[in-house]
Structures are given as structure tokens and as C-alpha cells.
Amino acid sequence: MPREGGELSTERRLGTERAGYLMVTAGFLLVAFTGPLVRLATAPESVLIVIRMASAALIFTPLLLRAGSVRQLVQPRIFPLILLFGALSAGGMLLFFIALRGTSVAIAMFLFFTSPVYVAVLAPRTLGEPTSKCAYGALGIALAGMATIVLPGLFSETLTVTAWGLIAAVLASLMLGFYTLLLRRLTRSVGSIALTWVELTLDAVFVLPLAVVQLALGAALPAGRDWVIALALGVGATALAYFLLIEGAGRIPVQHWAILSYLSPVAGPIYALFILGERPSAWTVLGGALIVAAGVMVAVFDTRRRGLGVAPPAVAPGLAPPAGGGPGEQNGEDDRS
């Protein structure tokens, strides 16, 4: 009888993880709409970010109040982490934009998406979540796929490289890596609705000064189409996408979440084909195939290893902290089993 109960518990856990992989995959595929749609707009990127983040935060405000999750965000031991979480999210985004202006798109993209390497190395030390050999192998394949996509750009465009552009790209990658680790840490203590709302709100707050400065210096005000694009991004590629990514982050290993982030630069060119008429190169298709293969490795094979008890599981926190004990506490520590 205990064996049957254990099998049921394992099956339930694997079902939770499968849902997490679907959430994270869908979230990154939605985020990939950002690039092609922003290309259609004329307003400064900072202005578009503020509009889309603020509109998405407004969507989650009644959900936050209804769930009664505000108290989770103002706990003395959580509040500083929440502020750091927002700073890492907004700072990484802004530094990436700076990197795009200070170096080539190929170099900025490749350096930015080395962040899963930091996650794989640091997760065992900061979160106590070991990185499996399968995850390391998938990460290597994903990096090869990313290199296949971006490195040919080094030979097909006028190369512009500045020291500050390279520094911005590396710092953006580091911030994204620490953001990913902190997100996983916070999902053990704070519900997904509250985390989504706070990230959207702080992103808008942190980017607002830059948007004001750019408008004061003569940047174009958002036109009618800009508002439509920003609001569309706010609903689909931001509000829904961020919630799926944050909820999924509590259900799967953080290393897998980071590897699946490579789906966005793969899907972006596909969307650009239909939205902008830009045909992806053969290198993009080949690199995308490698990245998809890496995603299958972690979502199928590494998940199977945990089902067999070879690797530790990831447990979802749900939409709110676990019942019994204060937020972030379950059996005295965290939600991992």
C-alpha cells in the first residue's frame, strides 16, 4: 500500500512538472513577439516598456487585491529581495538595450544569452539545486545553437564594438542570471500573482525616468499605432507571459527554466517572417533546431530521471505560499522535497 501511495505522489509531481514545462514554453514563445512588434512602433523603447509594463500591472492589480497577497510582499525578510528582484529585471533589460547600441546585435545577443551558464554553475551553491549532467549537456547544445544563430552576423554586417557595449552585454547577462536564481528563490515564499505584479510594477517604475528624459530631449511621442502595439504587448507578451514564466519557475528546475529561455530568440525570427516579412537564414533554422533539441532533453529525459529518483524533484508553490506555517515555510524550510 505505501508503494501505491508513493507512485501516486510521484505521478502527481511529474504532472505538476509537465504543466510547468508547458507554462514556461508558452511564456517564452509569447515574449518572443516583443521584438517584431516593437519594430513596427516609432516611439522610444523605454516609453513602450513603461506603457506595456504599466498596463500589464493594472491587469494584475485586482487579482493581487482579491488574492490578499500584498502582505507577502512587505514581510521584512522578503521586501529587500523584492526590490532587488525588480532592479535586476529592469536593469538587465536596460543594459541589454545599451549593449545593442554599443556593439553588434550578434555579440550582444550571444553574451546576453550566456546567462544560463551562470545559473547552472551557481544554482547548486545558492539554491541547493544540483545541475545534472543531462542539463549541462543540453546547455552546451543550446549555446551551440545560439552561436549558430548569431555568430554569422559577425561576418555579414559592419561590426561595431565598443568597450562599454561589451561591458553592458556582460552585465546584462549577469543580471539575468541572478534574476533567474532570485526568481526561483522567491517562488518558495511568494505567490505567482504577487510576484508577477511586483515585477511589472517595478519595471515600469525603474524605466520611467529614462522614458521621461528621452521625451524631454525630443523623442517622438507615442502615435496611435504605438499605443495599440504597446497595449497588445502588455496583455499577451507581458501580463500573460510573465505570469506563466513565474508560475512555471516554481514547478521545474531553475536550470531547465534558463535553458528554455533560448526559445525566445528562436521564435522571434519566425514571428518576424509573418509580421515583418523577414525571412530567417538557414543558420537561424539550424540553430533553432539545436535549441529545440536542448529543450526536449531537459523537458523529457531529465524529467524522466527525476521520475526514477535519479535526480531531485522540483515542487510547485502554486498561486500562494504553502498552507501551514508562514509564507516561505513548509516543514520548517522551503517547498522542495
Q: What is the amino acid identity at position 97?
A: F
Contact status, residue 99 vs residue 169, Cβ threshold 8 Å? yes
Amino acid at 173: S
SS3 content of the chain, % helix, strand, coil (to 5): 75, 0, 25
pLDDT above 70 as % of the chain: 83
Residue range 219-245: mean pLDDT, rounded = 90
The confidence score (pLDDT) of residue 179 equals 95
Percentage of the chain lying above the pLDDT 90 cut: 33
User: What rounded mean pLDDT belongs to the chain?
Assistant: 81
Q: Looking at per-residue confidence, does 38 or 303 come out higher?
A: 38
pLDDT tens readout for residues 261-296: 989 888 888 888 888 887 887 888 888 888 888 888
CA-to-CA distance for 240 and 251, rounded, in angstroms?
A: 17
What number is the average pLDDT over the span 301-312? 54
Task: Report the alpha-carbon distance of residue 244 to residue 319 in Å, rounded.
Answer: 11
- Phi/psi of residue 230, nearest 5 degrees: -65, -40
pLDDT digits (tens, 9 = 90+) for 109-149: 788 888 998 999 999 999 888 888 888 898 899 888 888 88
Long-range contacts of 310-313 (CB under 8 A, 24+ apart): 311/130, 311/132, 312/129, 312/130, 312/336, 313/13, 313/17, 313/337
Helix (H) or strand (E) holding 97: helix 79-102
pLDDT band of residue 212 (cuts 50, 70, 90) is very high
CA proximity to 112, closest of 234, 258, 233, 230: 258
Tell me the per-residue pLDDT of 13-43, one tens digit each, with 9 for 90 and over.
778 888 999 999 999 999 999 888 888 888 8
Q: What is the C-alpha to C-alpha distance for residues 129 and 314, in angstroms, rounded to an integer?
A: 9
Residue recorded with cell 531537459: 298
Q: Please tell me what DSSP assigns to residue 325.
A: S
Tens of pLDDT along 163-181? 888 888 899 999 999 999 9
The ranges assigned to domains in the chain are 15-307
- Band (155; pLDDT cuts 50, 70, 90): low
- Please give the pLDDT value at position 12: 79
Residues 6+ apart with CB under 8 A from 190: 69, 72, 73, 78, 82, 321, 327, 328
**Cβ atoms 335, 289 nearer than 8 A:** no
Neighbours of 15 (CB within 10 A): 10
How far apart CA 310 and CA 290 sit, in angstroms, is: 25
In eight-state DSSP terms, residue 274 is H
Residue 237 has pLDDT above 80, yes or no: yes
